[in-house]
Amino acid sequence: MRSLFERFRAHRLASVFVLLATLSAAIVAGSFAAHGVRGQEKQNDSSDATPIKVVNSTVPPNEFVKIAKMVGPAVVNINTQTFPKQSSKRRFHGRTMQPTPQGPDDNGGDDEQQGPDNFQDFFNRFFGGQMPDQGDQGQGVQESLGSGFIVDPKGYIITNNHVVEKADKIYVKLSTDPDTQDLGRPARVIGTDKATDLAVIKIDTNTPLPTVKLGNSDLAQVGDWVEAIGSPFALSQSVTAGIISAKNRTIQPGAAGQFQHFIQTDAAINPGNSGGPLLNMNGDVIGVNTAIFTQSAGYEGIGFAMPSNTVAKVYNDLIGPSHKVVRGSIGIQFREGLSGAVNRVYGFKNGVLVQQVTPGGPADKAGLKAGDIITTIDGRGIKDGDDLVTEIASRRPGSTARIGFMRDGKPQDTTVTIGDRDKVFADLTGQQSNVEPEEPGNAGEAKLGIVVREASPSITAKLHMPGMVIQSVRTGSFADLQELAPGLVIIRINKQPTGTKAEFDAVVSKLKSGDDVVFEVMDPRRPNDGINYIGGTLQ
């Protein structure tokens, strides 16, 4: 006798077969009804069908619509072209010369010991902007895209540094420009800041351009609605919306991320959105869309925008006479994330344990030593390394600060004179060990983007010829594009000797846009490598 389960199972299978048979019969019957007997088609009669009409029901515009209409005209599409160049590793008679590191991007900083510097690679692979460097393996002109927004009716535009950093030519297209205009209006770089990945570019205009307003990013709250506008995948004027997911996000460890405290959002941003605005519900820019976290090279709900309060400070510095961001430094290094054991043994909860003091730097001159614990600045308590960096970096070089610290369990204090961060850490790496302070009015600064001085007798003796030592290279300048670096010595330009400042100024003063410029340079650290020839066309 079959069990109850077996009978139920048999009954269920039988029901399935009946259902399938019924469906098959219905399909066959429907086929015959549609086609008639022997495949003859039956004439379709739709005389009883009623045509549909579009209903003119007006939906009141929401805030996103209003913001898109208000801000959209000030958001621009940025196209760049990068021409084939030599590899970034310069060959000196069979040997490879790595460009000299510059400033805190490659060195520890007030600050903190340096971790792996892969931030730029993060942008290249995951956000758009410039494509990864593919060397000089026969590559043609590389074209990239990004976004930006106009903040001054005279044509000043904010975008990301990684959008324009490697570009030889930059073009900007407004929302009102005709589609027939291939790339857009020529633009030039006013200034860039790698530490925050921000850049200011400018286009010429005869009429005032529409602009946006920067809002106070400190007032934004987690959960607030935000709107992003940009050109993802070259689709200009794309609008997406989301909320603020978090604030004060640091996505790059170590010194590379010291000035990068992002707003996190789930507003959809993709390759090409880079440099575009993140807006609050008042239509004010509260961030510059900078990066996304992704494992698919596309949107996965986690985007990062540089806060507008940081953007405003950087912008105001970049449009200044020096076209650079000057940050304060006291010349120390420390490590974040110390274990609780370290804190207990050294007897502190809040503060910064000094790990290294730059010889001859501001902190060294003020008497600070490794092992000291910085607890206050001008009487205000210091919570951690980020707090210290923010406080010191915001101060102008030459100003003073009262530093409170603990040494061997006893409180002490000292007055330190704030230094220029770039110079302090150039000294740390020995970049300026053979040179003297910069001389004002350098002829090469405006045209080439470099500051030079005459080589010292010791360097001249090493090279067996005079030349001009490069002291600094402005980011995005002609010299930077040719990958000249501080410490190299320019022997000749276009076959003309540059052994003295007068000779250098005379050669450079004659250069004009469109000229081919060839530098003959030597590295005093490796004088036996001989002369290297580096050249390009001055834009």
- Catalytic machinery residues: 162, 197, 274
Distance CA 185, CA 171 (A): 5
Q: Which of 383, 329, 385 is nearest to 355 (CA)?
A: 385
DSSP state of 269: -
Distance of CA 20 to the CA centre of its chain: 62
Distance CA 65, CA 239 (A): 9
Distance CA 475, CA 86 (A): 18
Burial class of residue 61 (count of CB atoms within 10 Å of its CB; 0-12, 13-18, 19+) = exposed
Distance CA 291, CA 277 (A): 12
Distance CA 184, CA 173 (A): 4
Tokens found for residue 401: 């600060």
Distance CA 200, CA 320 (A): 11
Q: Please, which residues bridge with residue 92 across strands?
A: 95
Q: Residue holding tokens 């909860």?
A: 349
Distance of CA 420 to the CA centre of its chain: 22
Give me the DSSP letters along 166-194: T-SEEEEE-TTS-TTSSS-EEEEEEEEET
